[in-house]
Amino acid sequence: MKKQVIKVVLSCAVVAGSFTVTSCKNSGSSKNVSRATGWKINAKEGGFQYNTDFKEQETAPGLVFIEGGTFTKGKVQDDVMHDWNNTPTSQHVQSFYMDETEVTNVMYLEYLDYLKSVYPPENPQYANIYTGALPDTLVWRNRLGFNETMTNNYLRHPAYAEYPVVGVNWIQATQFAEWRTDRVNEIMLEREGYLAEDAKYKAATGETAGTFSTEAYLNRPESVYNGQIDSLQGKMKKDSVNAYAKRSSGIIMPEYRLPTETEWEYAAQANQGNREYNNYRGRKKYPWDGDYTRNGQRVGRGDQLANFKQGKGDYGGIAGWSDDGADITAQVMSYKPNDLGLYDMAGNVAEWVADVYRPIVDDEISDFNYYRGNIYMKTAIGEDGKVNVLRDSIVYDTLPNGKVVAVNLPGEIAMVPVGEEETYLRTNFSTSDNRGYRDGDPGSSRFFDRFSDEEEEEDTKKMYNSPKHKVERDSAGQLIRQYDKSNNRTTLINDEVRVYKGGSWRDRAYWLDPAQRRYLPQYMATDYIGFRCAMSRVGSKSKTKNKTPRGKKVR
């Protein structure tokens, strides 16, 4: 035993009684031996546990891998709308994953079914969870149009199962992505033996009180499933030193989320098919090759390559020849994918992206993963020094239009804005909320009349002075909606308006250009905006080994 200990500590030993030095063996020759200390990794007796077999991130359900790179973000053609809101800039995007198709009705119905099972709306405590997630089906109504068929059937009828979901606002889309993250990680942990096979169904059917939250599992795993996780663990509880998976286990997936505007535009352009060695040959006007919207190939010649409005009163061609195959939205995968394998990156429905809208991109922008909308948060720590889990409490928010949505669900961890502990003497960020950074917030000192002698309301001096509608409740619980009727408002832009990209079935071909950008308040929904999810790539940029092997000479 003593001899074995000496072997671990001293990789090079001098043999006693002689002057012969033994050959030094590389202690890192085994992936389960530390190159720092020589200690074992993943020893059954305990010690440091790590996933040394990890190869690369697995592609999560529904996603397509998008290798990152450099491209020109923004428009380089004439601006016929005179918006001047997408000045061309050179951007680099890290590799990421994106949904192959837009989120469909049946995908969203699975989400609603889960909420209805776990948080029954007939329970007054949970009533607003399910109703807050419901799409607004009334978006199909038009004062001078007959669309009640879509109002009553579009979301739930099987005929529209694989059509993109609409009537979903930006907030609902982000909450769907959070729910999807938890469900995917739940099944990943089951597959690897950290959870029992029936754990997810017990929670989904209400047999087990509480549910699974990824962040709660990582921070306080014993709190998951309302503290009943011990009875729901799988074979790893018996076979492993660690009964709970960690980030270092390599099993937990990064979160599903909305793509950033830069990611969405990069993926829609799909310049891979327009590349020659290390350069792009010009710029693609649409997600497909060519300057026209019609198919020029022998098969299907003349048909439209996307679902959009061809002209006034023309949503789908004439009788007997429906040149785009649809009048409203179309079933996903009805048209050819772009060169990255993504469907409907032009037409069908426009799509929410993560960014807060600004018409001007600052001249000192980040040229690496540009994104406006960062709000940095941290886990809340309770009086016991542990991460605070909201086991029984639910946090709701009343949106400006009166809709009530759940911000936190039972079993999730509480989050609070970062403070001075995280920002003190930092140069890369100084506050939690960075949505207005260098564009109208007080810290940016960008006011129209900052140096005016007149005393005015601060709101009237800001660059983006938007209406502030209020929703309150009276003593009886009834909503009181107060409209902002001020004459001093100068814009509709604020920190709650979000970008949406891509043309839709209601739009002309002009909006099919991936660089086009529009905005809408994050609490509003329409019959032509949907969404798809994205996921960050961790690890290597590329999935292909196209570099020269180390040590090999190139002639």
CA within 13 Å, CB half, 170: 23
371, amino acid identity = Y
Under DSSP, the state recorded for 94 is -
pLDDT at 553: 47
In this prediction, the residues of the chain whose per-residue pLDDT falls under 70 are 1-29, 76, 238-242, 272-286, 288-305, 311, 313-315, 317-323, 362-364, 391, 440-463, 545-555
pLDDT at 317: 65
Q: Is 282 left (phi over 0), alpha (psi -120 to 50) or beta?
A: left
pLDDT at 81: 76
Q: Is 274 left (phi over 0), alpha (psi -120 to 50) or beta?
A: alpha
pLDDT digit string, tens, across residues 335-379? 888 889 999 998 899 999 999 999 877 666 788 999 999 999 999
Q: What CATH number has the domain spanning 63-192+245-373+495-536?
A: 3.90.1580.10
Full-model pTM: 0.86
Query: Where does residue 371 rank: exposed (0-12), middle (13-18), buried (19+ CB within 10 A)?
Result: middle
- How would you classify the pairing of strands 96-99 and 534-536? antiparallel
38, amino acid identity = G
**Domain ranges, ordered by start, for the chain:** 1-48, 63-192+245-373+495-536
Strand partners, 518: 500
Kindly calculate the radius of gyration of the chain based on its CA atoms and give it in whole angstroms: 27
In whole angstroms, what separates CA 198 from the centre of its chain? 28
CA distance 525 to 503: 16
Q: Is 145 left (phi over 0), alpha (psi -120 to 50) or beta?
A: beta
pLDDT at 36: 92
Q: Strand, helix or coil at 135?
A: coil
Under DSSP, the state recorded for 267 is H
Rounded to the nearest 10 degrees, the angle between the axes of helix 170-191 and helix 105-118 is 80
Other beta carbons within 10 angstroms of residue 475's beta carbon come to 5
In whole angstroms, what separates CA 24 from the centre of its chain? 49
pLDDT at 254: 96
CA distance 533 to 531: 7
Which of 284, 283, 340, 333 shows the shortest CA–CA distance to 307?
Answer: 333
Q: H or E stretch including 219?
A: helix 214-219
pLDDT at 326: 82
> How many helical (H) and strand (E) elements, i.e. helices and strands, does the chain have?
11, 19
Provide the strand spans (E) within 409-523.
412-413, 415-417, 470-473, 479-482, 497-501, 517-521
Cα distances from 258 to residues 47, 163, 532, 533, in angstroms, run: 39, 19, 7, 5
Residue with tokens 């729910």: 179
Q: Which residues contact 334 (CB under 8 A, 6 or more apart)?
A: 307, 325, 326, 344, 348
